[in-house]
Structure 1
Amino acid sequence: MSGPAPAGTAGELLADLPASPAVWCSGLRKRYRRRTAVDGVSFTVGRGEVVGLLGPNGAGKTSVIKMLLDLVRPDAGEVLLLGRPATDPQARARVGYLPELFRYQPWLTAAEVLRLHVRLSGAAVPEAERRESLGLVGLADRAGDRVGGFSKGMQQRLGLAVALAARPELVVLDEPTSALDPVGRADVRDLLLSLRARGVAVLLNSHLIGEVERVCDRVVILDKGRVVAAGTLAELLGQRELRLRLDNVGPQAEARLAAAGQLDHSGDTFTVALPADPDPATVPDLVADLVGLGVRVHAVEPGRVSLEERLLSILREEHA
C-alpha cells in the first residue's frame, strides 16, 4: 500500500497546467423579441493574444461583447473570463472595457475621472500609475482639465486610459479608434502591441480593417449573429504572392523560380505563390540567386489578398 502523496504535489501539478484562456465562450445565443441577434457563437482569446471581432453592422458583435462582460444575459451558452464565470465579480475586476458609446461627467477633470473608475474597480492603483495611464494615451498634460472641454477624440483617449487604469489582464475595446485622427489611430495601434508584449489579452471590435490587420493575431468574423470564419490572418488570407518583372530568364532561372513556389508566367512578369508565412530570407535569397544567374530584375512586388477583400468575399458567399 503506497503512502500519502508528498506535500505540495497537487499545487505543483496545478502550477504546471497552462493558464486558462482570457476569454472562453461556447454556444452564446441571444434573441430580442423575434430577432436573433447572436446564434451559437463560440471562440477563445488566449493570454497575451489580440483577437479582432469583425463583421457588418448588425452582425452581433456588440451583443457578444456585452454578454461576455455580463452586461446582457445570454439566452443560452457559457462564458469564462480569466478562468472564472463571467458573473463572478472577481473575474470582471481584472477586465478593462471601453464601450462604443460612453460619456463622462463633464465637470470632472481627466484625473478625477480616472480616480473614480479605479475606486469603482476596487483596485489599489497609486496616483503615479494613474498618471502613467493618461500618459500612455497622450493626455498627461491635460490631467487637470475638465472633460466637458475635451474634443471627441480626446474623450476617446480618456476612455482608453480608464480601460487600462486598473491593471487589467484582459482589455475589451469596442470601436476604440472611431473618433481618432490618423495619429491617434497609430498611437492606439502601438498601445495594443505594447499590451500584447506585456501578456495582456485584447478583444478588439473595429470597422477599421486595416488596423485589425496590423495588430491582431487572430480574427473572428460574425454575420447575422453567427461565426462564419475564424483563424489567424495566414489561415484566412492564404498564400502570399511574389510578382517579379524580369529579363534574360533562362532555363536555370526559371527552374529556380519554380523551386520557390508555384509559378505563373505572362510576358516579362513572373508570379510565384509563396507559403502563407514564408521564411524572411526567401525573397532576398531568390533575388540574389536570379541576379547570379544573369537575370535583370526590374521590379519585385510582394502581395497578398487584403483582409478587407477576404472579409467581403466571405460575407458575399454567406449572403449568396
Structure 2
Amino acid sequence: MATGTGTGTGTDAAPAARLLAELPPSPAVWCSGLRKRYGRRTAVDGVSLSVARGEVVGLLGPNGAGKTSVIKMLLGLVRPSAGEVLLLGRAARDPRARARVGYLPELFRYQPWLTAAEVLDLHVRLSGVAVTDADRRGSLALVGLADRAGDRVGGFSKGMQQRLGLAVALVARPELVVLDEPTSALDPLGRADVRDLLLSLKQRRVAVLLNSHLIGEVERVCDRVVVLDRGRVAASGTLAELLGRRELRLRLGGVAAAAERRLAAAGRLTRSGDAFTVELSDDAGDAGSTAVPDLVADLVGLGVRVHAVEPGRITLEERLLDILRAGNGGEQR
C-alpha cells in the first residue's frame, strides 16, 4: 500500500510540474475594481485592467479622468479605497514586486547639485537591486546622455531631465515600466527616440503602461488602449478593435439620386459638395476587398465621374473624441 501510494504521488506530480511550466507567466499588471475616494469626490470608480508581459498599453482620457490616480494605486503610492492589484504576479504591496518596476512620474525633480551619474547611483541604492556600472552607463547611453554623465542636473534643460528620468526608470532592467507623460517636454527627435525605446522594450518582453496626451505616439506604439473618463473605463481594446470603423472618401461628379442611394447602401454617408465620405457597414468588408471595387463599378455604371477614391480608417483621436462625447453626461472631474 505504501509503495502504491508513493508511486501514484510521483506519477501525479510530474504532469503537474509540466503543466505549471507550460502555463503562461502572470500578467505584469492586473487590477480589479479599483476605487479611490477623496472625501466626497470619487476619483476612480471600479477600474479593472491588465497589461501582459511584453505588451504596451496606453492609458488615455481627459484631464481629471483618473489616469494618474490609477497609476499611483498600481504602484502602491496611494492606497485604494477598494479593489485588488497584482504586479508581476505578486501583491502590489510586496517590495519584491515593486523592485522589478521602473517608474517615470509626470512631475519629478532631481537634486540640481548631483550629476546624472550620481542621480542614477542614488536610485539604484534606493531600489536595492544590483546594477553593474556597465548597465548604469548603458542606461544613460540609451537615452542619449552618455556624454553628460558627469554634468550637474541643475544645468539640464527640461527635455534632458526627462531623458534622465527615463534612464532612472530603466536602469535596474525592470520587467514592467510605467511612464506618466514621458514625452511632454521632448522635441520631435526626442519623442521619436522614446518611441524606438518603447519598441525595443517590447522586443525584450518588458511590459509598458503608458499615460500620454500625445495620441499620435500612443497610436504608433501601443498594442491596446484603455480609455478612462470620470474615473471609469469608458472603452478598452486593441487598436484594431477601437479603430475598426472603415471610411471611404471619394470625390465624384455627376451624382444623381440613384448613385447617392447606392453610396448610402454601402454605409453611413456624408457629403460636402463633390466630396463624399462613406462609413462602411460592418458587412462591407475591408477597403481592399471586392466591396470597394464593386461600389466604384456601380457608380461608373450609373454615370458618375470618379475623380478620387481614398480608403482609410478613423484616427485614434477621432475615436477617443467619439467615446468621450458619448459618455459626457456631466462635468468632468
Q: Do both share a fold (TM > 0.5)? A: yes
Aligned pairs for 1:14-25 within 5 A: 14-25=20-31
Structure 2: gaps (5+ residues): 254-258, 298-304
Structure-2 residue corresponding to 1:138: 144
Paired residue for 1:166? 172
1:41-77 residue CA offsets vs partner (Å, 9 max, x unmatched): 1011111111111111111111100000001110110
Query: Highest CA radius of gyration, 1 or 2?
Result: 2
Which of 5, 21, 39 matches 2:10?
A: 5
Q: Is the 8 A contact 2:287 2:312 kept in 1?
A: no
Q: Which amino acid aligns with 2:175?
A: E
Written as runs of structure 1 = structure 2, the 5 A alignment for 1:85-234 is 85-234=91-240
Which one-letter code corresponds to 2:200 in the other structure?
Answer: S
8 Å CA contact 2:106, 2:182 repeated in 1: yes
Distance 2:178 2:288 in 1: 36
Code of the aligned partner of 1:207: H
Spell out structure 1 runs of 4+ moving beyond 6 A. 261-270, 278-281
Letter in structure 1 aligned against 2:310: E
Mark the CA change 1:149 to 1:5 in structure 2 (over 3 Å): closer, same or farther: same
SS class of match (1:4): helix
What SS does structure 1 have at the residue aligned with 2:113? coil
Distance 2:270 2:155 in 1: 60
Q: Give 1:72's match in structure 2, choosing from 72, 78, 94.
A: 78
- For 2:70 and 2:209, how far apart are their aligned partners in 1? 11
Alpha-carbon spacing, 1:191–1:281, altered in 2? closer, same or farther (3 Å)? farther
Q: 1:42 to 1:180 in 2, by over 3 A?
A: same
Matched with 2:65 is: 59
Q: Which runs of 5+ in 1 are unaligned?
A: 248-253, 291-295
Contact kept, 8 Å, 1:241 with 1:274, in 2: the verdict is no
Indicate conservation of the 8 Å contact 2:73/2:80, yes or no: yes
Q: Which amino acid aligns with 2:56?
A: V
Matches within 5 A, 1:241-256: 241-243=247-249
Q: Secondary structure at the match of 2:85?
A: strand
Residue 310 of structure 1 and its aligned partner are, at CA, apart by: 1.4
Residues 1:302 and 1:136: Cα distance change in structure 2 (over 3 Å): farther
1:180-206 Cα shifts (integer Å, max 9, x gaps): 111111111111111111111100011
**Structure-2 separation of matches of 1:99 and 1:268:** 45
Query: Given the superposition, is the C-alpha separation of residues 209 and 16 from structure 1 closer, same or farther in structure 2, using an over 3 Å criterion?
Result: same
Q: Deviations over 1:215-270 (max 9, x none)?
A: 111111111111111111121122323445689xxxxxx9xxx9xx8697987979
1:105/1:148 contact within 8 Å kept: yes
In the alignment, the residues of structure 1 paired with residue 279 and residue 35 of structure 2 have an alpha-carbon distance, to the nearest angstrom, of: 44
Match of 1:293 in 2: none
Asked if the contact 1:246/1:270 (under 8 Å) is kept, the reply is: no
Q: Hey, what's the Cα distance between the residues in 2 that align with 1:231 and 1:15?
A: 29
Question: Structure 1's 274 and 133: CA in aligned 2 closer, same or farther, altered over 3 A?
Answer: farther
Quote how far apart the aligned CAs of 1:306 are. Answer: 1.5
Q: Distance in 1 between matches of 2:122 and 2:64?
A: 33
For 1:311, the equivalent position in structure 2 comes to: 320
Q: Residues 272 and 134 of structure 1: is their aligned pair in 2 closer, same or farther, counting only changes over 3 Å?
A: same
In 2 relative to 1, CA 194–302 (structure 1 residues): closer, same or farther, beyond 3 Å? farther
Q: Could you say what secondary structure the match of 2:111 adopts?
A: coil
Number of residue equivalences: 307
Note the aligned Cα RMSD (angstroms). 3.1
Q: Is contact 1:242-1:274 (8 Å) kept?
A: no
Distance 1:35 1:263, change over 3 A: closer
